[in-house]
Structure 1
Amino acid sequence: MARAIMIQGTGSNVGKSMLVAGLARAFRDRGLRVAPFKPQNMSNNAAVTEDGGEIGRAQALQARAARIAPRIDMNPVLLKPETDTGAQVIVQGQRFATLSARDYAREKPKLMSAIVQSFQRLGADHDLIVVEGAGSPAEVNLRAGDLANMGFAEAAGVPVILVGDIDRGGVIAQIVGTQAVLSDADAARIRGFAVNRFRGDPTLFDDGMTRIAEQTGWASLGLVPWFHDAWKLPAEDVLDLSSGPERGGIKVAVPRLNRIANFDDLDPLTSEPGLEVQIIEAGQPLPGDATLVLIPGSKATIADLEHFRAQGWDIDLAAHVRRGGHVLGLCGGYQMLGDWIDDPDGIEGRPGRHPGLGLLRIETVMKPGKRVRLSAAHHVETGEAVTGYEIHLGHTTGPDCDRAWLRIGDRPEGAASADGRVRGCYLHGLYGADGFRRADLARMGAQSGISYEASVEETLDKLAAHVAQHLDLDRILELAEPVA
């Protein structure tokens, strides 16, 4: 019978996703069949499963850590923000609806049944489920109808470990204060605590760990030092998206769109020692010394195109092209590079026809029905194999599509300008393929110095060893309880 344990945090971005990935690999290395699970996630950085569903990118990485394929049941509810007040709701991998926050609250009882169903299906196939919460259980104003933390823990009967982030400061108050605001029943679900992201001599916090244990009555499960190789793993959240190290070599400029989506394309580039990836924030110009401007995907292409123009990036991009620079648009970024984006049904807002950046002779028509699939392709020029995924609305045609630079099976994919310096496509994950990345960087005057997939595997192994050294895995396994 499968057992389960849930990792909740004292706040957002305290390192829950990373710890779950580390635990998944550490317990898998002990011979257990492990599955990750997150009842509700909010992210526009989605992954595609083999059966054509969407889940959070973090759960896909955690599945990889557990050495299994991602499944829709690992993240049964995914919220993909489209505006400040509304989000597309993905349930068990498929689009359910686009809802305002108020309307979503009314749907929560239905969604809990789907969440528990997915959780139980995972339990039938695995020995251990490591569950990740979202945000913090201390947000007691959201407790009624909660799907992400104590609401799920109560519905599924899962014990909880609470994690605090000492790097933020005030970690004793984080943990003790969480207990203080919880109901007695919710506080009783927490069986232990851990402190994450410690820097320095860990013995200096021995008294702190003792004080938390005495104050709460919870088991002390470990003090986890900062994991310095975390940047080598795919970023989960837009909050984690930042410029890479200043290394010299060629510069890749990436404008941060308001609704940036599926930005995992940047991870292999950030890992390259001969590249400097620079995230360009709103109000900053695109740098004149960039070799490549990469326009990433977007959850709201037309709105982000307006945002792009509002920053003056359209002017900067035109100057970049005149200087002989390279441009790559992926998914929504690909659509922006064309002459027109036509939205006759108002899928992204008011119906209308919107001028694009005019750097590719293409037009996109937004149509209902999202393409979500894993895809195997090859690069036409070099024959290099590429694997990735498609996740988009819209159909793109035009003269520059005659210079498609990828093929997915028998289907041409992408478009390129006559000189080949401006390109776009719908396929995410291109740069994860070492051969293609090596060839593409070479044409821009850079060399590839890594095997990306091997680097991710090595980092996951290091993370598992790190977690195993600093957390009490035997005690955590004892605290896990059978899936009902």
Structure 2
Amino acid sequence: MAKAIMIQGAGSNVGKSMVVAGLARAFKRRGLTVRPFKPQNMSNNAAVTSDGGEIGRAQALQALASGVAPHTDMNPVLLKPESDVGAQVIVQGERLTTVKARDYAKLKPQLLTATLESFHRLAQDVDLVVIEGAGSPAEINLRKGDIANMGFAEAANIPVILVGDIDRGGVIAQIVGTQAILPDGDNALIAGFAINKFRGDPTLFDAGLKEIVDRTGWPSLGVLPWFSDAWKLPAEDVMDIASSKKGDFKIVVPRLSRIANFDDLDPLVMEPGVSVDIVEQGRALPGDADLVLIPGSKSTIADLAFFREQGWDIDLQAHVRRGGHVLGICGGYQMLGQEIIDLDGIEGKPGRTQGLGLLDVVTEMKPEKRLALTQATHLATGTAVEAYEIHIGRTYGPDCEHAWLDLGGRTEGAASKDGKILGCYLHGLFSADEFRTAFLGNLGAQTANTDYNQSVEETLDALAEHLEQHMDLDLLISLARPV
């Protein structure tokens, strides 16, 4: 019979996703069959699953840590923000609807049913399910109808480990304060706590740890020191994207307001000969870029307007005049064309929007979303790529005759006549080591033949060892409850 434990945070970005990934790998190394689960996630960084749906990319990493393929049951509700007040609702891998934040509560009873269905299906024939909460249970204003934290824990009768982030300061108040404001029923579900992201000598926090234990009555599962290799794992949150100044070859990436599927950047950051410069709003695109990479977007037309508001269109034209290279992926690809046609109003007001005009292609927005795991070949070098597609819209035009990827029966992408402007719909290209080396090498970058996927695996093993050393995993597994 499967057992389950839930990791919740005393705040946002306390490291829940990383802790769950580490626990999954640690218990897998102990010989258990493990599955990750997150009832509700909010992220535009999605992964395509083997069963043809989409889930949060953090759950895909946790699946990798567990040694299994990602499945839609691992994240049955995924919210993908499309604007400041609305989000697309993905249920068990498929789009259900788009709602405004104030209307989302009406869906929660239906969504709780789906989350419990997925959870119990996932728990069949495994030893342990490690569940990740979202945000914090201390947001008691959201408790009614909750499916992400205590609402799910209560419905599934799952014990909770509360994780605090000492790096931000005030961790005693985070933990003790959470107990102070939670109702008795929710507090009864909390079986222990842990402290994450400690820098320095953990024994210096012994007195603080005792204060938390004395005030809450909850046992401590340990103090986790800062895991310095965390940057080697794919980032889940857009706030975790950071510039990496390593080598002479400079890739400039404008941070779009609705940036999506930015895992395309992770393998590039790993290259010691490459610097990745994430350009925030209000800052010009640097004039010394070798490659400008325009990433994916959840709302291409809105982000194209944002791109122009920053003056980045002018910077990009100057970059092209200097002979610079440009790569647009997914939404970035659509932006590079002559026009985006959205007569059905899928992304807002129906109409036509002028593109950046660097590729002679046009994109038509259609409601059907393409979700696919894809194998491709880079035509110029013959290198193989395993990638994924996750987009709406169809792109066509003369520059598609200069396609640069072969999908085994159809071509993909577009290129300018001089080959310096490229676009495609495939995410994950740079995870393929031979392709990455060849592509960057052709642009003049010095690469190190890094095995990206092996690096991720080794980092997950190191994270598991980190948790084994600093967290009481024997206590944790004893606290897990049969489901």
Q: Could you tell me how far apart the structure 2 residues matched to 1:113 and 1:426 are?
A: 34
Cα contact 2:268–2:274 (8 A) shared by 1: yes
Q: Could you tell me how far apart the structure 2 residues matched to 1:200 and 1:188 are?
A: 33
Q: Could you tell me how far apart the structure 2 residues matched to 1:257 and 1:330 are?
A: 13
What amino acid sits opposite 2:67 in the alignment? R
Q: Could you tell me how far apart the structure 1 residues matched to 2:87 and 2:62 are?
A: 24
How far off is 1:28 after superposition?
0.3
1:15 aligns with 2:15: yes
Residues 40-439 of structure 1 mapped to structure 2, 5 A cutoff: 40-244=40-244, 246-439=245-438
What amino acid sits opposite 1:311 in the alignment? Q
**Partner deviation per Cα, 1:241-283 (whole Å, 9 max, x = no partner):** 1111x22311100001011000000000011100110100111
SS class of match (1:151)? helix
SS class of match (1:105)? helix
SS class of match (1:125)? coil
Aligned-residue identity in percent: 70
How far off is 1:126 after superposition?
1.3
SS class of match (1:8)? strand
Where does residue 456 of structure 1 map in the other structure? 456
Q: Could you tell me how far apart the structure 2 residues matched to 1:318 and 1:125 are?
A: 57
SS class of match (2:222)? strand
Q: Could you tell me how far apart the structure 2 residues matched to 1:125 and 1:411 are?
A: 40
Q: Could you tell me how far apart the structure 2 residues matched to 1:413 and 1:397 are?
A: 10
**Partner deviation per Cα, 1:318-369 (whole Å, 9 max, x = no partner):** 1101111110000000000000100010100111111100000000000111
Q: How many residues align?
A: 482
SS class of match (1:213)? helix
SS class of match (2:366)? coil
1:470 aligns with 2:470: yes
How far off is 1:210 after superposition?
1.2
Q: Could you tell me how far apart the structure 2 residues matched to 1:16 and 1:466 are?
A: 15
Where does residue 445 of structure 1 map in the other structure? 444
Considering only aligned residues, what root-mean-square deviation do their CA atoms show, in Å?
A: 0.6
Q: Could you tell me how far apart the structure 2 residues matched to 1:58 and 1:152 are?
A: 19
Structure 2 gaps of 5+ residues are: none
What amino acid sits opposite 1:328 in the alignment? L
Q: Could you tell me how far apart the structure 1 residues matched to 2:305 and 2:200 are?
A: 46
Cα contact 2:249–2:446 (8 A) shared by 1: no
How far off is 1:79 after superposition?
0.1
**Partner deviation per Cα, 1:368-426 (whole Å, 9 max, x = no partner):** 11001111101011110000100000000000000000011211000001111100000
Cα contact 2:247–2:272 (8 A) shared by 1: no
How far off is 1:461 after superposition?
0.6
Structure 1 gaps of 5+ residues are: none
Q: Could you tell me how far apart the structure 2 residues matched to 1:409 and 1:86 are?
A: 38
How far off is 1:447 after superposition?
2.2
What amino acid sits opposite 1:145 in the alignment? G
SS class of match (1:124)? coil
How far off is 1:125 after superposition?
2.9
SS class of match (1:370)? strand
Please give the TM-score of this superposition, normalised by the length of structure 1.
0.99
Q: Could you tell me how far apart the structure 2 residues matched to 1:219 and 1:376 are?
A: 48
Q: Could you tell me how far apart the structure 2 residues matched to 1:296 and 1:415 are?
A: 15
Q: Could you tell me how far apart the structure 2 residues matched to 1:212 and 1:203 are?
A: 15
Q: Could you tell me how far apart the structure 2 residues matched to 1:70 and 1:422 are?
A: 33
What amino acid sits opposite 1:288 in the alignment? G
Q: Could you tell me how far apart the structure 1 residues matched to 2:201 and 2:306 are?
A: 46
What amino acid sits opposite 1:376 in the alignment? Q
**Partner deviation per Cα, 1:101-125 (whole Å, 9 max, x = no partner):** 1221101000000000000001103
Q: Could you tell me how far apart the structure 2 residues matched to 1:333 and 1:441 are?
A: 19
Q: Could you tell me how far apart the structure 1 residues matched to 2:467 and 2:321 are?
A: 50
How far off is 1:34 after superposition?
0.2
Q: Could you tell me how far apart the structure 1 residues matched to 2:354 and 2:388 are?
A: 27
**Partner deviation per Cα, 1:14-55 (whole Å, 9 max, x = no partner):** 000000000000000000000000000000000000111010
What amino acid sits opposite 2:372 in the alignment? R
Cα contact 2:379–2:405 (8 A) shared by 1: yes
